[in-house]
């Protein structure tokens, strides 16, 4: 489902409300809320809003478990770190136990080995059914999501839950949930807006199926919900 807003500012409270509702429902039904956060710039306004008391007090953070959808393989104090961004805008401002936060980076281990460890960490919380309650995603101008970049081998990965690889175009390792893991989620919310996303978004939503070129097309929940939150600028005249 695609929900189109007049502008990005309108997306922010709507997305924050979805986060709160998903957390409350999961905690009520299963006792815990397991989320994968997204990096990039698109979620920043929502993270900031969730950090305000009006929103943060509606969530029982003791029962929230935070993972990430992907990460640039850089130290946690590096400005490119998705964990750093998420902590700065959200997690540092709410009463979540440190033990409930699983950054997708660790020193003294290769990204490949950490991918295996991260899979075990996820399993220790979500158990074998592998269902995150909510996975937040963004989308790059090229149609990538998480660190599922066009034409990369990781797009075909079906057995690993987490994969790490060297992304030549950015000269860095990336670590990411695989599409098959993302697709098990109960709810997936993609926040993407602005004119720069227009071409990729229209190809993803209305173009031919070509996930090697537009990896976002791989995101099709098995039995969960998928929602795109976008704006007029990104969707253009195609609606």
Inter-residue contact 211 to 217 (CB < 8 Å) = yes
Tell me which stretch binds ligand 6PG (CB under 6 A): 17-25, 27-35, 135-143, 151-159: 135-143
207: exposed, middle or buried (C-beta count within 10 Å: 0-12, 13-18, 19+)? middle
When binding is defined by CB under 6 A, the residue of 5, 19, 34, 42 that contacts ligand 6PG is 42
Decide if residue 143 touches ligand 6PG (CB under 6 A): no
Decide if residue 217 touches ligand 6PG (CB under 6 A): no
Closer residue to ligand 6PG in complex, CB, 39/224: 39
- Count CA within 13 A, CB hemisphere, residue 129: 10
| Pairing of β 225-231 and β 172-177 | unpaired
Decide if residue 163 touches ligand 6PG (CB under 6 A): no
Least distance (Å) from ligand 6PG to the CB of residue 109? 20
Q: Which residues pair with 42 in a beta bridge?
A: none
For tokens 């990005």, what's the residue?
8
Inter-residue contact 135 to 185 (CB < 8 Å) = yes
Inter-residue contact 211 to 220 (CB < 8 Å) = no
When binding is defined by CB under 6 A, the residue of 41, 159, 171, 237 that contacts ligand 6PG is 41
Closer residue to ligand 6PG in complex, CB, 38/217: 38
Least distance (Å) from ligand 6PG to the CB of residue 29? 28
Please list, in sequence order, all residues whose beta carbon lies within 8 angstroms of the beta carbon of residue 213, skipping any fewer than 6 positions away.
Answer: 143, 150, 151, 203
Q: What's 80's DSSP letter? A: T
Least distance (Å) from ligand 6PG to the CB of residue 192? 7
Closer residue to ligand 6PG in complex, CB, 42/111: 42
In whole angstroms, what is the distance from residue 119 CA to residue 141 CA? 28
Decide if residue 183 touches ligand 6PG (CB under 6 A): no
Nearest one of 28, 117, 39, 132 to 81, comparing CA atoms = 39
Decide if residue 182 touches ligand 6PG (CB under 6 A): no
For tokens 């059914």, what's the residue?
129
Least distance (Å) from ligand 6PG to the CB of residue 212? 17
Write out the binding residues for ligand 6PG, residues 64-83 only, by CB under 6 A. Answer: 70, 72, 82
Least distance (Å) from ligand 6PG to the CB of residue 27? 25
Please list, in sequence order, all residues whose beta carbon lies within 8 angstroms of the beta carbon of residue 210, skipping any fewer than 6 positions away.
Answer: 203, 217
In whole angstroms, what is the distance from residue 217 CA to residue 132 CA? 19
Closer residue to ligand 6PG in complex, CB, 99/153: 153
Decide if residue 140 touches ligand 6PG (CB under 6 A): yes
Decide if residue 181 touches ligand 6PG (CB under 6 A): no
Residues contributing to the site for ligand 6PG (CB under 6 A): 38-42, 70, 72, 82, 138-140, 144-146
């Amino acid at each position: 489902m695609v929900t189109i807003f007049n502008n990005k500012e309108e997306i922010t409270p709507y997305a924050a409300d979805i986060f709160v509702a998903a957390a409350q429902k999961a905690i009520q039904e299963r006792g815990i809320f397991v989320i994968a956060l997204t990096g990039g710039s698109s979620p920043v306004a929502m993270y900031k809003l969730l950090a305000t008391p009006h929103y943060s007090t509606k969530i029982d953070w003791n029962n929230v478990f935070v993972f990430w959808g992907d990460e640039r393989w850089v130290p946690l104090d590096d400005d490119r770190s998705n964990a750093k961004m998420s902590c700065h805008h959200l997690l540092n401002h709410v009463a979540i136990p440190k033990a409930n936060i699983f950054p997708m980076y660790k020193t003294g281990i290769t990204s490949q080995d950490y991918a295996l460890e991260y899979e075990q960490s996820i399993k220790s919380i979500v158990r074998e059914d592998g269902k995150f309650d909510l996975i937040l995603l963004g989308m790059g101008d090229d149609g990538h999501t998480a660190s599922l970049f066009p034409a990369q081998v990781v797009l075909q990965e079906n057995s690993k839950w987490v994969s790490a690889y060297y992304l030549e175009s950015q000269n860095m390792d990336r670590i990411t949930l695989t599409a098959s893991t993302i697709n098990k989620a109960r709810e997936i919310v993609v926040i993407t807006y602005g004119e720069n996303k227009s071409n990729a978004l229209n190809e993803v939503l209305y173009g031919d199926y070509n996930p090697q070129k537009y990896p976002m097309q791989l995101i099709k929940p098995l039995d969960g919900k998928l929602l795109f939150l976008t704006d007029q600028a990104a969707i253009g005249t195609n609606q």
